[in-house]
A and B are shown apart, each in its own frame.
Chain A
C-alpha cells in the first residue's frame, strides 16, 4: 500500500464506501495523512458511527503516532528513509566494556492466565470437533449479541415462508459462523452462514457498501439484512465483527518496566545468527553504547519468547541438511545455555512454536519437563501456545502465529511483510486462528484457546520472521521477527526475513520501540 497523501475527493469517497460522512475540519486533517492512516482511522471507527469527527481523527490517529514513529522504518522497509531516534540502530557497535547497569527494580511475578499445558482433554473423536466449534460460536456470538438482535437461523426459513405474503421489508439479523465463501457468476459474494440450528446463504451485492469487507472462513459474524421471499437467502446490509469495543481502556503498569518480545530463535539451524544473538545477550548484560540503551536495559524486566526456540528436527523434508545440531535435545541444551546468560532478575516466558518438540496440533502444550529441566536458573516460565500471561497487571497473549500463513493466502492484502496487519484482522475477529483445515493443525479441545478474551494489552506473535507492530483499539500487536537468516525455503519462496530486531514494550506508557542487533 503506498503511503501517499490523498486528495479530498478520494478521502470522501473512501469514507463513504464504508458508510461514513466526514466533517470539513476532519477532512482537512486527513488530507495531510496517508492512505494508510485513513485505513487506520477506519479500523478505529465505531461501525455504528455516522460522522467522522475531528475528535475521531485525533483520538485514533494520535494513538497510532507513537507506534508509527518507532515502527515506520521497520514495517515499510522499502520506504525506510528516516530512522526515528528511538530506533537507534544499530544499538550495538563494538564489544566495549559492559556498563554497570543497575536494574530499576526487580521483575514482578508472571501470572499464567490461560494455558493448555496439562489441561488437554482431547482424545480426537467427532463430538470433540463439534464441541470445539460450538464453543467458539457461543463465545464469539455472545460478543456480538449485544449489538444485533439476532434470530436462530432455522427460524428464518419458517418465518420467511410465512412473511413472504406479507411484510417482506423488515430487517432480520443472524449470528453465524462462516462455512463457505464464494463469488457468484454475477460477481456478487455469497456466504454460507451457520449456527447450531441450521445454515443460510447470505448474499452481499457487488454494489453494496460492505462488499469489500474482509471475510474469512470459520469466523463468527453478525449479519443483518433482508430475507428473500422463500426465506432461503439473506441479502446483507451490514456486518458486525466481534472486535474490540471502543471502550477498551488498556491497563498499564505502574512501573516503567520494559518487556522484550522475541521469537523464532531457531537454535540448531545452520542459519541461526549466533553473532547477532550474542550481541543481544551482551546488550541485555549491559554492553550498551548509548545512554538510551542503558536506560532501556535498566528497565528491561521481561523477555517473552513466542515459539520456535530451536529449529527442531524433521519439521520439513531434508531438514537434516540444514541443521547445525542434529539432536533436538542438544538444541535445547544449547538454548538453555544461552538463556542462562540472561541476568537472573529478568523474567523469561517461553512458549512453543511449530519447530519445537511438542505436538504440532494447536493449542500446543508447554515444552516437556525434560526440556524445562535444562533451564536451571529459575527465572523461566514455560507456557503453551497460545497462552495468556499477566505481568505487572498488563496482559500479554502469546501465539506463535501459524494462522498468519492461512490469512496471507486467504485475505486480500495480507502479506508476510506486514504481519501486524494480519494480526489486526485476527483481533477484529477476536480469534487467533479462525480458519480450519488450512495450515494450522488443531486439536479439538474442550475450550477454544484461540479466543481473545479477555482483551489483552499486547498480542505477541512470531512465525513469519518479519517484524511489525501496530495498534488496534488500544491493543498492541507485535510480531517479533527472528534470529535466523534466510533459509533455503525462504530463498525459494522469495521471503525476506527481518532478523535480529526486536520490539520493546514500555509497560507503563504502552510505547513500543525497536532495537536492532544486526551489523
Chain B
C-alpha cells in the first residue's frame, strides 16, 4: 500500500523519481559499454521496506510475501512469520535445510531493521544445525561484531526468530553442557574487560540465559584475546572471544527482556519463562524513579572519559550552566539541542553547528545548533560590569574582557527527546510561552508588556506571575541573601536619574551577579539601569527612594527565595532556572571528503612497485631487476576470460571489446573453470592468481584513451585488491579522478562526510536559495500557506531535500566535473552535470548513506550553508538509521553511485558489505524508518498542561496524548507536511563555522584553552576538569604507550611489512634488506608526561594522581636512560 500523501507531496516524489530514472538511463547506457564489472547499474532501487529486504537477502518473491504478512500484523510479528515461512519452504529455494534456516533468521532481522543495516548479512555470520548429546538436532546462530548495528531489540528478536523457526521445523531445544555454560560466563566477562558493553550482566544472569535459551547463541571470534579457563571445548570452535554472544546476551536479551517477553506472551511460547527472572532481576536504570523525592538529581555520567582539549561547559546541574528550555526550533529535536549563537561564541568557539555535546540529560549526547530566539549568555567583565549578550557581534567584542561567564544562556530541548529517552521531566523554567497561556486563561484582551512597570501592572491586574523577562534568578539565592541585599541597598544605595548606585561590596555585588542583573561598575560604584532598579526595588520590597515599604516584612519570610520575593513584591515571581543541563564537548563537527588511508584514486593494484605512495607512475617505471621489463609488476588479480575471443585477461573489458567473466580454479590442483569447491582437494576455488601486469603499457593506453597527459602530481592505486574476485577498476577512471583531485572509496564511489543535523523548515536566504529557484524546486508556498515571494519566508523542508556545507559543494563540483569527463571521455556519452558553481548543484540528486548500513537514501540538494554539517529532514536521517546526537554519514552524487559502484570491488571479509549502497530507497515512508523519528513533536506551542507536568516530575508518556507527534500522523498526508516549531531562529548557520577544537593546533593549545575556559565558566570546576583529563586521558595514554613500547611491533620502511618482533637478520627479510624501524617511539610514550605533571601541580590534583605520574616518569627514565652513561654525568665532574 503506497503511503498516503498529499498531491504536492506526491508530485515531489514523482519529480525525484523522474530525475532518478533519467540518471539511471544514462548510467545504464554507459554500463552497457562493458567497461564495468557488471553490464547493469548495480544499485537496485527499492520503493519500500519489503523491496529492500528482498534485495539484501537476494530471495526472489520475498518482498511480496513480506507485504502480505505486514498487512495483517505488526512488524515484529511479521518478521517472525516470514522467517517461519522461509524455513518451511514457502518462500525461496535453498541448497539444504541449513541454508533455509539461515536465511529465515537473517530475514527476520532484516525486516526488524527496516532492511537498512548490514546486520542480517554481516552480523549473523552463519546459522548451523548441530547435535545435542541425546542425538536431537538444535539450531546454532553465529553472531558477529556487526550485529551491534542492528540494535538491542533486533539482536534479541533474532534469537526469538531462531526459536520460532526451530519450533516450526520441529527441532529440539539446545541442551547445553555445564562446561559450555561456564565458558559463556568467562567469555562475556572477558569481553567486558576488552570492549564496551552497555550493561554488565551478572554471572547468574548469564547462566540463567544460556541454560534456558532454546537456541544456541554462538559467534565467530571477534577479539584477539582468548579465554583462559574453558578452552578447547568440543562444541565451541574457538578459544578466542566471540563479541557477538556478549552483545546479544547483555545488550539484547537482558536489556530488551521486557520487549522479548511481550512477543513470547503473544506467541504463547513455552520455554521462555525465565525471562521473568531477568526482568525482575535487572531493572536497567532508565530514568529516575517517579516516586522519589521531587528534586533534580545531578548526574555526572556525561563527564566520564573526559578528553584533553574538549571542554566541560557545565558540571552536573550547577548554577551558571545551560538553562533548560523546553521547545523545538526548526533545526532541533531528534537528539539535537539548540543554544544561542552568542553562547557558542562566548565559549571561545568550542561549540559550532553540529558539534556533539555529551549532556547530563535527557539522552547521552546531542548535536548543537544555533537558535537565536533563546536567551544568550551573561558575563562579568574584568572591570566588574555584568553584560547580557544577545547577539554574536557583542559576544565577539566583549570576549577578550570576560572575567567570568556567569551564565551559559539557554539550551532548547524538545519534548520528543525526553519521550524517546523515557526521561522523567525536570521542571520547566517560567517562560514567556507559558506566561502567555497563564494570561490567556485570565483575559481575552491583547495585553502588551514593554516595561517593568507594565509587567507588574499586568500581574497585579490579572493575577498572573511576573513576566519572565523581568524575573531574575531568584532561585539561586537564599532568603538570607534576599534580606541582606534589601537591607544593604536600602542602607547604602542611592538613586540618580532612576538608576541605582551602590558602593561596591563583595557580598552584594556577588548576589547581583548571581541574579544576572546587568550592571556597570564606575568609580567603585555599581550602577543599575533604571529598568533594573525598578524591578529590583519592587522585588526587594523597597520604595523608589530605597526605603523599606515594610521593615517588618523581612522577618519570617519563606525559606525559598522566590517565594520570599513574591511576598515582598506582591506578585508571584516564578523560577527562571529550575533545571540546568551539565554538558561537555564530545566529538567535533565534521564536514570532510572521505579518503581511504592512504588516499586512493583508483582501485588498481600496484603491489610493492608503487612504493609507499602506491603510485601508478612509480609502478610503471618499476623494474624488479635489470633483466625484468620496466613497468611490469606482479600482483594478485582475478583471472577473467573473454567470451567473445576466448582470451585470458584480468581486465573487465577485453581488447576485442568483449565483456570478460571471472574464471575460478583451484590454485593447488591447477583445475580450472569450476566454482565452489575443488573436486580434488575440496578447497574453495578462486579466480585469483599472481599475474604479470604491464602497468606501463596499460597506463599509457589509458591516458591516450581519455585524452589526458600524465601531468597530475600522483595517481594512487592500492597495494593489493581485497575483493572476492580481485577485479581491478579501469585505470581511466583513476586518471580522471586524479585530474579532478577526488578520491575513491572501497566500493568505487566518491564520498563526502558530514555530521547529521536536523531541519524541518528553512529560510531560502540562509541556504543561498533564490525565490525563483525555490519555486522551481516546488517550494511555491511558505509554511503558513502564503505564496513564496521573499527569500525571508519560512518554508517547510521536503523530507528528501538536504542542505550541505560550502566545503561539500567545492568537492562535489569536482566530483561532477569528474563524472562529466568520465561520461564524455571514457564512455563516449554526453556530459550530464555541466556545473560550474555552487548554485548549479542545486536540484541535483545524491545518495545519503550511513556507516554500518547497506541502504542508501535518495536525496536532493537544495542549498548550502557555512556550517560544517549536513542539514536534512529528520526523516532523511532516520531513513539511514541515524539520529542527530553527533552521528555522521556521507553523501555521494547519484550518478557516481550508478556509474561506478560495483559489488565486485567490495572487500571479501566480515563487514565488507557495510557502508555500501546495496540498495537505494526511492522515497521515505515514515512508517518504515527508524521509530525514533516518530517521537518528534511538531507543534507550534506546548500546552500549559505540559509545563505543569514538568513541574511535577511526570513521565513524558503521561502527557503524550496532549502533544502533537509524528507518531500520531503516520499513514496520513500529515506525516509529511504541516509540521510546526515552537522557537524560530534567523540563521541555521549562525555562530562559529568550526569548533575551536578543530582550529587550535597542538594538544597543548587545546588543553590550555579547555582549562582556561573552565576557569572562566561559573558552572565549571577547573580543578576537576584537570584531574579528569589526567585520569581518563593522559594516564591511560602514558600507561598504554609505555606498554605498547615494550611489546611493540617493527615495520620495514621500504616495503611496509610489519614484524611482531625484530627479525634476527636486523634488516627486512621480506624485501631483502629494507630498513626496519620501531612502530612506537619514545616521543609517543612521553608526549603527555610533562604537560600532565605541569597541570597536576598547577591545578592541585590529589596526591594519589601526582604519585602515579611520578612513578610513570621514573619508569620512562629507566627505560630510556642508560644507567652507565648516567654515571658519567655532570655529577662525576663536580
Contacts and interface: CB of A to CB of B under 8 A. Distances in A.
Interface of A: 118-127, 129-130, 133-134, 137, 177, 179-180, 185, 194-199, 217-218, 313-314, 317, 320, 326-329, 357-361, 365, 368, 408-409, 412, 415-416, 436-438, 440-443, 492-494
A134 B1065 CA distance: 9
B228 A357 contact: no
B89 interface: no
Contacts of B182: 494
Given A130-B1066, A494-B229, A443 B1060 contact: no
Given A121-B1122, A361-B1115, A408-B228, A441 B1065 contact: no
19 contacts: A124-B1082, A124-B1119, A130-B1062, A194-B1063, A196-B1066, A198-B1069, A313-B1111, A314-B1107, A314-B1112, A320-B1104, A328-B1111, A358-B1115, A358-B1118, A360-B1115, A437-B1047, A437-B1060, A443-B1119, A493-B190, A494-B186
Interface in B1050-1090: 1050, 1060-1066, 1069, 1076-1078, 1082
A326 B182 CA distance: 35
A442 B1046 contact: yes
A360 B1064 contact: no
A356 to B, nearest CB: 10
B189 interface: yes
Nearest to B200: A492
Given A129-B1078, A359-B1115, A436-B1060, A412 B232 contact: yes
Given A124-B1082, A409-B226, 7 more contacts: A122-B1122, A126-B1050, A129-B1050, A133-B1062, A197-B1065, A359-B1115, A360-B1046
A437 B1066 contact: no
Nearest to A364: B1118
B1042 interface: yes
Contacts of A313: 1104, 1107-1108, 1111
Contact of A194 (B186, B1064, B1082): B1064
Contacts of B1049: 437
A130 B1060 CA distance: 12
Name the 9 nearest CB pairs between A and B, nearest first.
A441-B1046, A314-B1108, A359-B1115, A359-B1118, A361-B1046, A436-B1061, A129-B1062, A120-B1123, A130-B1062
Contacts of A199: 1063, 1069
B1078 A126 contact: yes
Nearest to A328: B1107
Contacts of A437: 1047-1049, 1060-1061
A441 B1042 contact: yes
B1047 A120 contact: no
B303 to A, nearest CB: 16
A192 to B, nearest CB: 10
A365 B1118 contact: yes
Main secondary structure of the interface of B (DSSP, over half): helix
A436 B1047 contact: yes
Interface residues of B, number: 50
Contacts of B1039: 314
Contact of A126 (B190, B1042, B1076, B1107): B1076
Contact of B1065 (A198, A361, A368, A493): A198
A133 B1065 CA distance: 10
B1017 interface: no
Nearest to B1031: A317
B1045 interface: yes
Contacts of A415: 228
Nearest to A312: B1111
B1043 interface: yes
Given A126-B1078, A314-B1035, A120 B1122 contact: yes
B232 A124 contact: no
A197 to B, nearest CB: 7
Interface string B578-595: 000000000000000000
B1120 interface: yes
Contacts of B185: 494
A195 B1064 contact: yes
B186 A441 contact: no
Contacts of B1103: 327
Contacts of B1046: 360-361, 441-443
B32 interface: no
- Interface of A, secondary structure class, is loop
B1064 A133 contact: yes
A327 B1110 CA distance: 12
A185 B683 contact: yes
Given A314-B1111, A326-B1104, A408-B228, A123 B1121 contact: yes
B228 A409 contact: yes
Contact of A359 (B1050, B1062, B1065, B1119): B1119
A122 B1119 contact: yes
Nearest to B192: A492
Contacts of A326: 1104
A129 B186 CA distance: 35
B1124 interface: yes
Contacts of B701: none
B11 interface: no
Contacts of A196: 1064-1066
A125 B1122 contact: no
B188 to A, nearest CB: 11
A6 B226 CA distance: 32
Nearest to B190: A493
B767 to A, nearest CB: 47
Nearest to B1121: A123
B1111 to A, nearest CB: 6
A416 B190 CA distance: 16
B191 to A, nearest CB: 12
Contacts of B1045: 124, 361, 441
A133 B1114 CA distance: 25
A120 B1036 CA distance: 26
Contact of A492 (B189, B1043, B1111, B1122): B189
B1053 to A, nearest CB: 11
Contacts of B1115: 358-361
Interface in B850-866: none
B1047 A438 contact: yes
Contacts of B1078: 124-126, 129
B1061 A129 contact: yes
Most chain B CB atoms below 10 A, which of A180, A328, A359, A443 = A359
Nearest to B683: A185
Contact of B1047 (A127, A368, A441, A494): A441
Contacts of A493: 186, 189-190, 228-229
Nearest to B1065: A196
Nearest to A132: B1062
B1104 A126 contact: no
Given A133-B1061, A198-B1065, A313-B1104, A120 B1118 contact: yes
Contacts of A442: 1046-1047
B1123 A126 contact: no
Contact of B1123 (A119, A134, A198): A119
B1119 A357 contact: no
B133 to A, nearest CB: 21
A329 B186 CA distance: 36
A359 B1114 contact: yes
Contacts of A133: 1061-1062, 1064
A127 to B, nearest CB: 8
B683 A118 contact: no
A230 B1036 CA distance: 50
B496 to A, nearest CB: 58
A124 B228 contact: no
Interface in B281-325: none
B967 to A, nearest CB: 42
Given A361-B1115, A416-B228, A137 B1064 contact: yes
A328 B1112 CA distance: 13
A198 B961 CA distance: 77
A217 B1076 CA distance: 20
